[in-house]
Amino acid sequence: MEKIGFREHESQTQPKSAAFAERFGAFLVEKGHLNDLSLRRAQRAHVQSGERFDLVLTRLGLLSESELASAFSTYLGLPLMSSDELAHAVPFATELKREFLSGATIVPVRDEGGRVLLAMADPFNEEALAAVSFQLSRPVDRAVAARSDVMSAIKQNYAGENERDVPSRHGDDAATEAQASEEDVRHLEELASEAPIIRLVHDLIARAAEMGASDIHFEPRSDSLHARFRIDGILHTVEQLPPTVKAAVTSRIKIMARLNIAERRLPQDGRITATVQGRKIDLRVSTIPTIGGESVVLRLLDRSQVQLDFAKLGFDDERRAKFIETLRQPNGIILVTGPTGSGKTTTLYTALSLLNNTERKTFTVEDPVEYEVAGVNQIQVQPKIGLTFGNTLRSILRQDPDIVMVGEIRDLETAQVSIQASLTGHLVLSTVHTNSAAATVARLLDMGVENYLLASTLKGVLAQRLVRTLCQNCAAPTEPTPVLIDSLKSAGVAHDAANWAAHLRKPIGCNACRQTGFRGRTMVSELLVLNSHIQESILGDTTERRIEEVARASGMISMFEDGLGKVLGGETTLDEVIRVTRMG
């Protein structure tokens, strides 16, 4: 058993010291309690706050109270007391006061052979040990226990001065429930306002921005809270936080987004503006209840990283020229299509930046407004008050616009108003969620749009995806695989083994790309520009396959073929192209 006079190195007995943080931190990593990244974060917070290193660990949510007690037990060679053992503790009610025990977070467990075993949440508290030994007039040995277990044992065995055994029964159930709800909200606010939680959330946002992540996912599990970053379209787990911080982290994000922290049954959406290393970053916040708790996703919109340039987005010279020519039309509808996260909005903003000038009046209707554009009148829809895409678009047309960007055509109403706007001399830009350019035409017809109206107003459809680009630091030359050769032959690319071998590359992995072999993304696309043949097809045989056949005969290059060109140019790999196009 541990004796009161026990002392070892300064680094072991002074939790506020840098030496303790270094040695105990290394022990935690060695035993698998922490990873290197979490340790560095805790040590940085320890230095900045001046708080004890062990307290920093629990307040940051890196270790639970029980995990810390177990670690202390192994690190110091002390017995670990369970909640069951503490439940049978022998009280010294006449000698020791509850207030003293609670303040020191200690509780006597048993008296054996004239020595008292003392369970401690803080086994470094020498003053408390000496005080108990003096008060009981006998030697004291120390053991370790979780703070919550110690406090429960104190509450069970030592009565407080103002405690009541029977709770008040005044008031009806509704009042009691309302009071409990208010107490829950206050508790959540207190948790979210604690400095470690504030630092934790800010640290994750800052890291996500530094790593170029597009989204932060907080996913509640029964035994943890997973924090994951979506980088270059792929999710990476960066933290596994203890379940004790789930409510605090969610509440902190809700407070930042000005959402209702008491509402945990319904989805909520909000927005946060943060500054990271001098850069202004907008975050779109979405919460939704799950069986494990509230799932929270933050979409990062870093204005400084957005490059509104068609060449930098991934357009080749020919496709860029055709798309810009289509945008120069005085009226009509131009659509960009693809799944969520395929870069549609960035393409539309790039088109707006090209078209926007003092001679034109431009409106956008978005959900939400992602980037502010100087000189453009931007409106965010609010369906709850009737400000829908369709209603807002009708009102905009009375404002004499030249160009209108509609965030998304989701229903027949929005599609019809967009067509009406184009027929009256306006250029309308919008998005649709479909898999290909030809599928967009079929989708609008399925919505109920008249084929003759669509044929006369639709000017072009750009379908796109984002593929990861190879890391310039570590990509290595490679030989063409049989699958690639077959794909190139199917696409009509002449066999040129020497040229292919000179440009093809494969991913390796290095520190610059976090060992993934990829860094950044580029676009692969297909551009369907309507001509008389395609218009005739829309008016006659309107199947997706037929429209695509006519478009290909008119010179349209598919997304897969565009991707093959980027593979041959050494920008990406065939696997990446197949992953996003599901073709080949």
DSSP result, 169-232: --S-HHHHHHHHHHHHHHHHHHHHHSHHHHHHHHHHHHHHHHTTEEEEEEEE-SS-EEEEEEET
- Residues above pLDDT 90, as percent of the chain: 29
pLDDT in tens, 539-573: 986 788 899 999 999 999 999 889 988 998 899 99
In DSSP terms, which residues pair with 168 in a beta bridge? Answer: none
Would you state the pLDDT for residue 217? 96
Q: Alpha-carbon distance 235 to 226, whole Å?
A: 11
Pairwise CA distance, residues 353 & 433, whole Å = 23
The pLDDT of residue 584 is 39
The pLDDT of residue 494 is 61
Q: How far is CA 326 from the centre of its chain?
A: 36
Distant-in-sequence, close-in-space partners of 528: CB < 8 Å, separation ≥ 6: 437, 438, 440, 441, 460, 461, 462, 463, 534, 551, 556
What CA–CA distance (Å, rounded) separates 88 from 446?
Answer: 72
Q: What percent of the chain has pLDDT over 70?
A: 87
Residue 217 in contact with residue 226, Cβ under 8 Å?
yes
CB 40 within 8 A of CB 28: no
Going by the DSSP 8-state scheme, the letter that residue 33 receives in this structure is S
pLDDT digits (tens, 9 = 90+) for 343-385: 898 899 999 989 988 889 999 998 878 777 888 999 988 877 8
Find where tokens 């369906």 sit: 383
- Which has more pLDDT, 502 or 439? 439
pLDDT at 255: 87
Question: What is the spatial distance between Cα 132 and Cα 519, in angstroms, rounded to a whole number?
Answer: 60
Say which residues have a Cβ less than 8 Å from residue 426's Cβ, sequence separation at least 6.
Answer: 331, 397, 401, 402, 403, 404
pTM confidence score: 0.64
| Gap between the Cα atoms of 170 and 168, Å rounded | 6
Residues whose CB falls within 8 Å of the CB of residue 40, separated by 6 or more in sequence, listed in order: none
pLDDT tens column, 392-412: 888 998 899 999 999 889 889
